[in-house]
Every structure is written in C-alpha cells, then in structure tokens.
Amino acid sequence: MSNHSTIAEFLLLGFSDIRELQILHFVVFLVMYLAVLMGNLLVISAMVFEHRLHTPMYFFLGNLAVFDLGSVSVIIPKSMANSLRNTRVISYSGCVAQVLLFMFLCSAGLGILTVMAYDRYMAICHPLHYKQVMNRRACVHMAASAWVSSLLYSVLHTGSTFAISFCGGHMVDQFFCDIPQLLKLACPDSDSGEIGVIVFSACLVFSCLVFIIVSYVQIFRAVLRIPSEQGRHKAFSTCLPHLILVSLQISTGVFAYLKPPSSSTSHLDLAVLVFYSVVPPVLNPVIYSMRNKELKAALWKLTGQRLLTSNKMSLFHI
C-alpha cells in the first residue's frame, strides 16, 4: 500500500494527446487568462486612482477582483505550461499549493460576495445609517474577516485532504489538483476526517447562500415600497450586478461539485470545471461595469489618460 509520503508527483488530465489540440488549448487558455488579467487589473486600478470609487461597494468589488485574479493565476498558468511542454506532471508540493491557494481564494470570494449583500441591504433598507455602519474601519474589518477565515478554512481543508493515504495511484482526472478528484485516490478507510470537512464546507456555503437570500428578500421588500418608478429602477440596478455574480458563482459551483460522481471524467465534467473556475473571473468585471455608469466613466478616464500619455510620448520621441 502506498501513501502520501511516497508520492512525489501527480499526473493531471490532459485536454488532448494530439499536439495541435494541445497548442489550441494553450492559445484558448492564454486568451482567457489575458482577459482575466486585463479586466480585473483595470477594475482594481480604477478603484485605486478614482476617488469617487472610494466607497464600500467598490472596495469590496476590488477585493473580489483580487480573488478572481488570484484564483485563475493559481491553476491556469500550470495547465498552459503543461500543454506547451507536452507533459501532465505536477509535483506533490505544487499540488498542495494549488489546493491551498485555490480553496483560499474561492472561499474568500464567496465571503466577499456575502459581505456585498449586506452592504446592499444597508444601503437600501437603512440608508440613513449606511455611512455610520459601513464606515472605512467596518469595511476593512469585514474584508479582513473574509481573508483570515478563508485562510484558516483552506488550511484545514488542505491539511485534511493530504493527511489521507492514497491507494488509487497518482492520476488526477482534472486539469488542476481538484479535491474531489484527489479523494478518488484515497484509501477506503482514510477519508473519514475529510468527509467531516466536506460537510462543514457544505454548511458554510449554505449559510452564505441563506444570508444572501434573506438580505435580498429584505431589499426587494424595501424597493417595492419606494413610491417613484425611477427610484425603484435605480435601487434594482445597483443590486442586479451582484445578483448575477452570486447566481453565476453558486450555480456553477453546485453543478461542478454536487452532481453525481462518475467513475471516469467525461468531457462534460472537464467543461463544467473550466466554466466554474475560469468563466466567472472573466465575466465579473464585464458584468459589474456594464450597468455601472460610475465604474464605466472611471475605466474610460483611466484608459483614456494612458492612451493620451502614450500618444504624447510617441510625438515627443518623433
């Protein structure tokens, strides 16, 4: 029987054994990764340099952009490098790092989405007390709580995952070290502790989901009591991007991890996990800036100033 101490590396799932398709996978992932980098870095830069965006909502959105950027950076470059080098190997320590960082960034993102629901609740249901409750110190404490609690949770989850004994080989049937696929390699009598952590994870996600739902029930009740149609439309428009982000994150996560397990990984399983791990970070900046005039104005101002500066520098050199 082999255990985790004798495993030096894992083999990740390759998208194809055909060299041309491996290059295609590299190009597609490169385009998606560059889209994540550009979109989230623009959002972060706009919130740093534009003083009008120094509000609780944009502060939390900036945190979410950091988590989206980090989570994709943990898994995508390694998959791209493997396709380019025609290999599937990831070291044991690299696999541990992927699990730890991906769990930390994803759980912290969910925590920030939950805090954003509370922010919208206070802004719409208790507007007179909003500035007093959602002051800078409170926002920093909320964000720090999401960071610290997610780090502790990811350490617990990662430790319990790699404390098990692996009897099923070292082939991980996904394009990154995914915990459900790692558990398929576990010995039958060694995963009881991890099952407890999984139950705890499900309860944590369910609690966040319930908190968000309850917050929006109260928000909708308050919005429907607004007498003017313009006021109701403005209130709904501030909540719509957050609702889309939550729905996208929760629905893809539930479909990816709560669907019935299969003995072998299908192309659907692979596509679902790519959609869950890569697509939301690509779409989040687009969703939030699409109906947000302040953010769109800040982005145009930021990119316009950069283009103007570069044009002036070019003329100067000429």
Number of domains in the chain: 1
178: in domain? yes
304: in domain? yes
Q: Which two tokens stand for residue 305?
A: 């100033």
317: in domain? no
DSSP code at position 13 = P
Closest C-alpha to 172, from 181, 180, 161, 163: 181
Residue 249 has pLDDT above 70, yes or no: yes
At 170-181, the pLDDT tens digits run 888 888 998 888
At 7-62, the pLDDT tens digits run 788 989 877 788 888 899 899 999 999 999 988 998 888 888 888 888 898 899 89
Question: What residue numbers bound the domain in which 255 lies?
Answer: 4-309
pTM of the predicted protein model: 0.85
260: in domain? yes
What is the per-residue DSSP string for 243-279?
HHHHHHHHHHHHHHHSSPP-SS--HHHHHHHHHHHTH
272: in domain? yes
Torsion angle defined by CA atoms of residues 239, 113, 68 and 180, in that order, rounded to the nearest 10 degrees: -130
At 52-70, the pLDDT tens digits run 888 898 899 899 999 999 9
At 260-309, the pLDDT tens digits run 555 555 567 777 778 888 888 888 888 877 666 777 777 777 666 554 45
Backbone angles phi, psi at 176, to 5 degrees: -145, 170
12: in domain? yes
Are 114 and 208 in contact by the 8 Å Cβ rule? The answer is yes
Residue 316 has pLDDT above 50, yes or no: no
Query: What's 148's domain CATH number?
Result: 1.20.1070.10
63: in domain? yes
Residue 311 has pLDDT above 50, yes or no: no
316: in domain? no
